[in-house]
Structure 1
């Protein structure tokens, strides 16, 4: 009989962190589809293909991190659209009511001229 100190617990390898975990979600399962995991993974600098010979599972820790990153990217994209819209509305230097940032008095939005920079 073997000893327990040399026993190896079989689990699944996470595609993102390469750690072996007992609790994972398969990337092509209904649960993964409902969480839009493949869509979120597309934002990473890796390529996941259904028939490659790499792991097709993702651990809970990586799912949490992926969700945080995805939320940040969505916020950045939304902010970028708002800022671009803001610029379009200011052809005359005023902030019209149609502007998405109308009424926000934040000094970080204003552009300083060369004469005011010391």
Structure 2
């Protein structure tokens, strides 16, 4: 029998942080599909192939970080869409009711009317 002191279990090495963990999510399981991990990993500057010789698991800490990054990216995309549509509503410099940002950080109408009369 050989020594197990230097043995490495590659199934429990995180693909993202390269740390050995006891609890991981394998990329080709139902849990990974439910979490849409492969879709979220595609946003990273790495490629994952089912048949490459690299780890196929992600630790829970990296799953959480990946979720946070994905959520932030989705929020930025929604915000960008809102800002672009916001600009389309402004032909006269005022924010109409139909605008998605109507009422956000706008001065009260009494202040706007006072400024216009000056």
Q: With structure 2 as the length reference, what TM-score do the two structures score? A: 0.79
Listed as ranges, the matches of 1:1-118 within 5 Å are 6=5, 10=9, 12-105=12-105
Q: CA RMSD in A?
A: 2.3
Count of residue pairs brought into register by the alignment? 106
For the structure 1 residues 2 and 30, does the alpha-carbon distance in structure 2 shift closer, same or farther, using more than 3 Å as the test? closer
* Higher RCO (C-alpha 8 Å, min separation 6): 2
> How far apart are residue 103 of structure 1 and its match?
1.1
> How far apart are residue 9 of structure 1 and its match?
6.9
Moved over 2 A (4+): 1-4, 6-11
Q: With structure 1 as the length reference, what TM-score do the two structures score? A: 0.79
Find the aligned partners of 2:8 and 2:45 in 1 and give their Cα distance: 30
